[in-house]
Amino acid sequence: MTNSELAKNDEIDLIDLIRVLWKKKLVISLSAVLFAVIAAIYAFTAKEQWTSKATVRAPLVSDLGTYFTLEREYADIIGDPEFTTEKLIERVFANFSVSLFSSDFKQQYFEQSDWYKKALSEYSSESSQQRFLANLLEKDLTVTKPDLKKDPNAIGINLSFSAQTPKDTQDVLKGYVEFVNQQVVDEQKSDFLEVLRQRIETLTLQKEQLAYSSEITRKIQLENLRNALEIAKTAGIKDYAKSVNGNISLPEAMLGDAKIPFTDSKLSDGTYLFMLGEKYLQSQIAILNKAQIVYSPDYYKVEKQLSLLIPILKKAEKPMKSNSYHYLSSPDFPVQRDWPKRAILLIVGAVLGGILGCIWVLVKQICGGEDE
C-alpha cells in the first residue's frame, strides 16, 4: 500500500471518528455538564483557604521604647564601654528571630488562643486534634527567611498564616507576632532586672564594707588617743609646747633640725601620741566624738551609683511597652482566596467531563455496542 493510500485511510478514519463523536454530542455534552456540576458543588462547598502575609525586620530605637532607655542609663552609670545601640538592637532582634521559628512558641500561642480553642471543637477525636495542631505548626503558620542568593537585597523575616476566613488569618498572624514579642520582651526585662539587682546588691555590700572600714579606723584612732591621754596624764605632760630643760619645746625635740612634717614624724605614731600632751589629746578626742565620720572617696562613689541605679530598678519593675521588631509590612487582609479556585474548577470539571464522554463513546463504538 502506497503512502497516499495510507494517508487517505487515516483521513477516512479521522472523519469517521469525528462523525461518531458528533453523532453522540448530546452524550458528551451531558457528561461535561455532569462533571461541571460536580466540580461546582465541590467549589462552593469546600472549605475556603485564605492567607495573610507579613514581613518583620530589626527594631528601630523608637520601637524599643522604655527598655532602650533603661539599658542606656544603666550602661552610662556603670561605665560600660561595650554598650552600643547597634549591639542592643542586634541582640534583641536575634532573640525575637529565634523565638519566631520555635515550634514550642507556636504551640504555646495556639493553646492560649481563643481562635484555636473554637476551631479545635470541630474535631472530636484526640488523633484528629493532634493532626489539626500539627498542620497549624508545620503548614499553616510559616516563618521563612528570604534566599539571599536569589534576592541579595532582601531583608527581614517573612510570615504567613492560612485559615478559612480573611479576618481570622490577619488576626491570628498579628496575635502570633505580638505573643512572641511579649515573650521576648519579658525575657529581656527579666535578664536585665537580674543583672541590675545583682549590681545593686554588690554595691550595697561594698558600701557597707567601706563604711565599716571607716568606722573601725575611727574607733582605732579614738582608742589610740585615749590610751595616749592616759599615758600623758601619768607622765604629767600637760601641754606639748612645754620646754624641755627650759629651752626646747617637745615637738621641736622630736622633729629635730630637719623639720620633718608632723604627719611623718614619730608623733603621728600611736606609741608617741602621749607627747602631745593632755590638752591637745583631750581636744582631739572631743572633736572626733562630735564630728561625723568622713568616709573614703570610694564610699561616696559607690553611694552615688546606688542612688542612680535604684530609681532605674523601680522603673524596670513596672510594665513597659517595647517592640523587639519593626514591620516592613504588617499582616494584610487577604482579598483573594487561595482555594478553591471556582472558575478554574468549573472549567476543569467541564473539560474532564467532555474528555471522559468522548472516551466512553469511542469505547462503545470499538466494542460494537452501537451502530454508526
- pLDDT value of residue 241: 52
Mean pLDDT of the chain, nearest integer: 83
pLDDT attached to residue 272: 72
pLDDT at 342: 66
Q: Report whether pLDDT(221) > 90.
A: no
pLDDT at 259: 42
Domain for residue 16, yes or no?
no
What's the rounded mean pLDDT across residues 75-85?
A: 93
pLDDT of residue 291: 80
Residue 349 grid cell: 470539571
* pLDDT for 114: 94
- 209 within some domain: yes
Cell numbers for 141: 503558620
- Can you give the pLDDT at residue 53? 95
Type of residue found at 5: E
Tell me, letter by letter, the H, E, C secondary structure of the chain: CCHHHHHHHHHHHHHHHHHHHHHCHHHHHHHHHHHHHHHHHHHHHCCCEEEEEEEEECCCHHHHCHHHHHHHHHHHHHCCCCCCHHHHHHHHHHHHHHHHHCHHHHHHHHHCCHHHHHHHCCCCCHHHHHHHHHHHHHHHEEEECCCCCCCCCCCCEEEEEEECCHHHHHHHHHHHHHHHHHHHHHHHHHHHHHHHHHHHHHHHHHHHHHHHHHHHHHHHHHHHHHHHHHHHHHHCCCCCCCEECCCEEHHHHHHCCCCCCHHHCHHHCHHHHHHHCHHHHHHHHHHHHHCCCCCCHHHHHHHHHHHHHHHHHHHHCCCCCCCCCEEEECCCCCCCCCECCHHHHHHHHHHHHHHHHHHHHHHHHHCCCCCC
pLDDT > 50? residue 265: no
The pair phi, psi for residue 244, each rounded to 5°, is -100, 120
Share of the chain above pLDDT 70, in %: 84
Q: Residue 351 domain-assigned?
A: no
Give the span between the Cα atoms of 141 and 180, in whole angstroms.
13
Distance (Å, whole) CA 274 – CA 280:
9
pLDDT in tens, 155-186: 899 999 999 899 999 999 999 999 999 999 99
Residue 223 has pLDDT above 50, yes or no: yes
Provide the pLDDT for residue 43: 65
Whether 63 is in a domain gets the answer no
C-alpha 180 chain-centroid distance? 8
Q: Over 70: is that where the pLDDT of 266 sits?
A: no
pLDDT at 243: 43
Q: For residue 368, what pLDDT band results from cuts at 50, 70 and 90?
A: low
Predicted pLDDT at 207: 95
Asked if residue 285 is part of any domain, the answer here is yes
Q: Which residue has the higher pLDDT, 75 or 36?
A: 75
Tell me: pLDDT of 109 over 80: yes
Q: What are the C-alpha distances in Å from 118 to residues 121, 122, 168?
A: 5, 8, 12
Instruction: Please check the confidence at residue 359 and state whether its pLDDT lies above 70.
Output: yes
d(CA 101, CA 162): 17
Contact 279, 242 (CB under 8 A): no
Q: Which stretch of 81-90, 178-187, 212-221, 271-280 has the lowest confidence by average pLDDT?
A: 271-280
Range of weakest confidence among 55-69, 201-215, 266-280: 266-280
Q: Is the pLDDT assigned to residue 244 strictly greater than 70? A: no
What is the extent of the structural domain holding 221? 203-314
Q: Rounded to whole angstroms, how far apart are CA atoms 74 and 313?
A: 10
How high is the pLDDT of residue 345? 67
Encode pLDDT of 6-29 as tens digits.
444 445 467 777 787 788 888 888
Domain membership of residue 273 (yes or no) is: yes
Beta bridge partners of 121: none
Residue 111 lies in a domain: no
Higher pLDDT, 299 or 14: 299
Say what the pLDDT of residue 28 is.
Answer: 80
Is the distance from CB of 99 to CB of 180 less than 8 angstroms?
yes
Comparing 191 with 357, the larger pLDDT belongs to: 191
Task: Please check whether residue 270 lies inside any domain of the structure.
Answer: yes
User: pLDDT tens for residues 309-354?
Assistant: 999 999 999 988 899 999 999 999 998 887 667 677 678 888 888 8
Please give the C-alpha separations between residue 298 and each of 214, 220, 237, 250, in angstroms, as whole numbers.
11, 20, 39, 38
Domain count across the chain = 1
